[in-house]
Structure 1
Amino acid sequence: MKRRTFITSAIGAIAGAAGCAHSWQQPLHTGAALAFGTTISISVAHADAALAQRAIAEALQAARAVDSLMSIYHPASQVHQLNRDGVLRKPDGRLIEVLTMATHLSDISGGAFDVTTQPLWRLYTEAAREGKLPEDAELRRARKLVDWKQLAFDGDHVRFLRPGMALTLNGLAQGYAADQALAALQAHGVRHALLDTGEFTARGQKPGRQPWVLGVRDPRHPDALVTTLNAQGCSVATSGDYECAFTPDFRHHHIFDPASGDSPTELASVTVVAPTAMEADGLSTAFMVMGWVRAQTLAAQLQAVDLMVVDKQGRSRRTAGFPGHA
């Protein structure tokens, strides 16, 4: 998923590798690979070096498999085939799992999350190449192709119910890849790990019995942090208007409000803490569209979900359970 080649990760592991291994016999082991148009990485604390490296290799393979399956760019991916043909036969079970989550998020967010916004992405990208924004008539045509309820799927088929539709799983696939990689690590008995697929998942502790620490980027100052947080037993994802902007003022960017066909105007970034990376990934996009009031209301109805937002004026707000430091 090439989107990540255009952005800097919103959250960086600022202390993940700085443990005191001599005080806890769980040395740090790391691995990295290319996927989603960027470098994904895994850090594991484990006494058995050989086991740790096997686990890391299988976890990276699991994450890369998600990219190969769900990329909008790889011709062999099932998402690419669906967008090309309008129908996909014999979908992979992992794709069905992600589409099921997409439908759930669309439902609970009142349509703020919608994987069928790909026609809008195409339209704005093509216009940006010419240094302009889409014409109103073009935008109206693209909006008619955006409707999550017009995507049908089961174990045998995935199909668009309206010709010309297309989907993108950029708002879920990297989170799902982190979940798949974590499952591979846990199958080897790994209990202490930090995974970065563009979204972050942390379990256990780093060497020295210290928490994995993440820093949340300031959306207007790439070298500054809004906050840091101890990531323990959770997943973290950030969406921001700076990730891929079509205009220098960040008014038009890669996150679209399906209702308007344009980018939401209230927030500059949203960071979500959730039980799974796929949930955090999808909710960070949904909450960007929903805005602070609606987002915090929905988060309060979900188990172990908290968020921090930074608005266009640089003001930050967070729910009571958000683990960031003041």
Structure 2
Amino acid sequence: MNAHPPPTASRRRFFALATGTCAALMTQCSRQHGLHRVSRSAKALGTTVTMTALHADESKAATALDAAFAELEHIESVMSIYRPESQLSRLNREGVLGSPDPLLVEVLRYSNEMSKRSDGAFDITVQPLWRLKGARPDTATMSLVDWSKVKVDAQSIQLAPGMAITLNGIAQGFAADVSMRVMHAHGVEHALIDAGEFSARGMNAEKAPWRIGIQHPREPDAYAALTQLENRCLATSGDYETSFSADFSRHHILDPRTGQSPGELASVSVLASTAMAADALSTALFVLGSQRGMELLQNYPGTDALLILKDGRHLATPGFPFAA
């Protein structure tokens, strides 16, 4: 499971291909095939979020982006671990949160379900392990890691004493899903969202499926594979972004059951119908390893994965859409 890196660290790196996205905090517009392409970027949830919308009416595309970024700001005010006033930060400080935002309840309930299905490989209570920077945890610290002790209902959320949670393995995906829903509600049928995880809808400006390059885990300026997103979402968990050892044996992805970094895989990329599912599954598969991870994936129809082992070998599901 991913403990939370400092806000200057990006957990995942991708190359967006033929997307029209921009890196500046500004809007860029172009018109191709009768559609305006409007892109906008901003900092949120410890990363740079870029949203691209295509629409025949430029003003409607811009309005949709305004609404999506407003919702993103709301999500950050609830789930950011970097904002001391967020609901998540208050919960971690006080151990209890009354009248939680419904979005936080939704994410925590999904997290608990993923923890149950993965036999604890996915666990949002690993945050205390992050302070150890990859060192072996003691018994007292490990006692604070237990997803089943997170009590969630519409009225309140409660943690056991001393526990703290991180949503780094799921919040970015959830933010991409919600932002895409907002843009669709504003009439946008073709869009790409990069919130650390990718959510795609419709086609790109060339009337082709959105194509994404997946970061190579050992070559910073290269990608390991190209894939295309046809109304699906992509998330990758890798050992390379926040590593505590030169050989990548100790890093920010932690097995909640041992407190140590899993040793088999270098990266896991998952394609799923929602970015939240892809986000959580990429972490769960990384922790479980190739054999048990692929077994878990069988419970999620319409989901594919690309696993890169530390020795360089690639494993992929039969339906993984490699692009030329």
Give me the whole-angstrom Cα distance separating, in 2, the residues matched to 1:48 and 1:9: 33
Cα pair distance change 1:22/1:197, threshold 3 Å: closer
Residue 248 of structure 1: CA displacement? 1.8
CA distance in 2, matches of 1:294, 1:72: 31
Shift of 1:230: 1.2
Task: For residue 174 of structure 1, give the secondary structure of its aligned residue in structure 2.
Answer: helix
Query: Are residues 1:147 and 2:146 paired?
Result: yes
Aligned to 2:243: 245
Whichever residue aligns with residue 155 of structure 2, its letter is D
CA distance in 2, matches of 1:7, 1:34: 11
Task: Tell me if structure 2 keeps the 8 A contact 1:2–1:36.
Answer: no
Matches within 5 A, 1:9-20: 9-17=12-20
- Please state how far the C-alpha of 1:66 moved relative to its aligned partner: 1.3
Alignment pair present for 1:72 and 2:81: yes
Residues 146 and 8 from structure 1, CA distance in 2 versus in 1: closer, same or farther, beyond 3 angstroms?
Answer: closer
Match of 1:119 among 124, 128, 132: 128
Q: Aligned pairs, how many?
A: 313
> Which amino acid is 1:243 matched to?
E
- Aligned ranges for residues 157-196 of structure 1 at < 5 Å? 157-160=156-159, 162-196=160-194
Query: 1:9 and 1:257, CA in 2 relative to 1: closer, same or farther beyond 3 A?
Result: closer
Secondary structure (helix, strand or coil) at the match of 1:309 reads strand
Q: CA RMSD in A?
A: 1.7
Match of 2:35 among 15, 22, 26: 26
CA distance in 1 between counterparts of 2:162 and 2:32 reads 59
**Runs of at least 5 residues in structure 2 that lack an aligned partner in the other structure:** 22-29
- Cα drift, residue 114 of structure 1: 0.2
Residues in 2 aligned to 1:297 and 1:105: alpha-carbon distance in whole angstroms:
14
Give how far 1:120 is off: 0.4
> What TM-score, normalized by structure 1, do the two folds share?
0.92
Matching residue within 108, 113, 116 for 1:104 = 113
**Aligned pairs for 1:234-313 within 5 A:** 234-313=232-311
Instruction: Work out the CA distance in 1 between the residues paired with 2:318 and 2:216.
Output: 20
- Percent of aligned pairs sharing the same letter: 43
Structure with the higher helix share, 1 or 2: 1
Q: Answer yes or no: is the 8 Å Cα contact 1:116–1:146 preserved in 2.
A: yes
Aligned-residue offset at 1:22 = 6.7
Q: Which amino acid aligns with 1:267?
A: L
1:44 maps onto 2:57 in alignment: no
Q: Distance in 1 between matches of 2:32 and 2:278?
A: 33
